[in-house]
Amino acid sequence: MNAREVAFRTFAGEIAGSSLEIKGDDEAAPSYLITPLGLMLNRVFVAGKLTEKSMKGTDSEPIWNAVVKDVTGNFYLQAGRFQPEAAAAIADIDEGEEPYVGVVAKIRTWTNNEDRTYVNLRPERIVRIDEDTYNAWLLDTAKDLWRRLNLVRTALTFPEASVKELQEKGMTESEADGIVRALDHYDRPESQRYAKMLQSALRQILPGKDIDFGLPEDASDFRDEIQPAPQQETLPGSDDSGMDAFDQKEFILGLVEEFDTGSKGAPRDEIERKASEKGISADAVETLLDELMNEGQIYEPNLGFMRKI
């Protein structure tokens, strides 16, 4: 389906420890990071306190790094020249107050020569939120984590089950697919680790209650196996738009609207120029314009000029 990728809510702790990636061949094809619990991540919706922001790169091409901390660990954000709104938002937010932020981001991974996997979040949207909204996010994320823990538990009782067989037990196809892949690749997930996350989340939401699941209080709680790529100015592969097919098409359509002054239409070269700023190649622009025309969304009133229908 060409539909927009759903943004899964995950704790930092679940992303940490993820090293399984499936990549698509095509430029616009999505790639997924599979967590040890089988969640197939492409786009995520996370929240936490914004701490530690820094700017690398040049004034004309700034790279903004930021750390967002939830109750289970850290998310490492990196916004480059193709994420101007997100970069501007990070620049604006004062981390001194450690404000809560909500982030919609794409997962970007990179494995180095020594097989170490780095996971970054490339923010599409980042906004300040209040504590209530943060708590709501914690609750939704915890509820989903709990639900998926139970799915994994079910899958573990049928070790050789296929995707279809798991679907018959009530999972959706993508849930079953992710879990089968995860159990194949990773060691058996430690339920204590995830129970800890639930505990931390519930403690934050219900501060008055004494919540203790009887888990060992380990100093190495947040075992951050994933660290931000050290000393990297930019991650390789960050010079693309990070947009999937759906987003790119919406974006091009938006440009047609934007550049159409009402006389001749939106000039193709302007569209290409703006699109390249976002990391979309001229070839891709041509393909997308063709597709939009075939779908009847735009037409070419004058040669080289596009208009929305």
Return residues touching other proteins (CB under 8 A): 1-9, 22, 24-26, 29-30, 32, 45, 47, 102, 104, 124-125, 127, 129, 132-133, 135-137, 139-140, 142-144, 146, 172, 174, 195, 198, 202, 205-206, 209, 211, 213-214, 246, 250-251, 253-254, 257-258, 260-263, 309
Q: Based on CB atoms, which residue is closest to other proteins, 22 or 52?
A: 22
Pairing, β 7-9 against β 305-308: unpaired
Find the shortest distance in angstroms from Cβ 13 to other proteins: 16
Q: How far is CA 298 from the centre of its chain?
A: 30
Find the shortest distance in angstroms from Cβ 234 to other proteins: 24
Q: What is the rounded CA–CA span in Å between residue 288 and residue 300?
A: 14
HEC letters along 68-123 = EEECCEEEEEEECCCCHHHHHHHHHCCHHHCCEEEEEEEEEEEECCCCCEEEEEEE
Q: Based on CB atoms, which residue is closest to other proteins, 63 or 197?
A: 197
Q: Based on CB atoms, which residue is closest to other proteins, 16 or 255?
A: 255
Q: What is the rounded CA–CA span in Å between residue 133 and residue 60?
A: 34
Q: 244 and 42 in contact (C-beta within 8 Å)?
A: yes
Find the shortest distance in angstroms from Cβ 138 to other proteins: 9
Q: What is the rounded CA–CA span in Å between residue 154 and residue 129?
A: 36
Q: Based on CB atoms, which residue is closest to other proteins, 45 or 118?
A: 45
Rg, the chain, Cα only: 21
Find the shortest distance in angstroms from Cβ 62 to other proteins: 19
Q: Based on CB atoms, which residue is closest to other proteins, 23 or 116?
A: 23
Find the shortest distance in angstroms from Cβ 199 to other proteins: 8
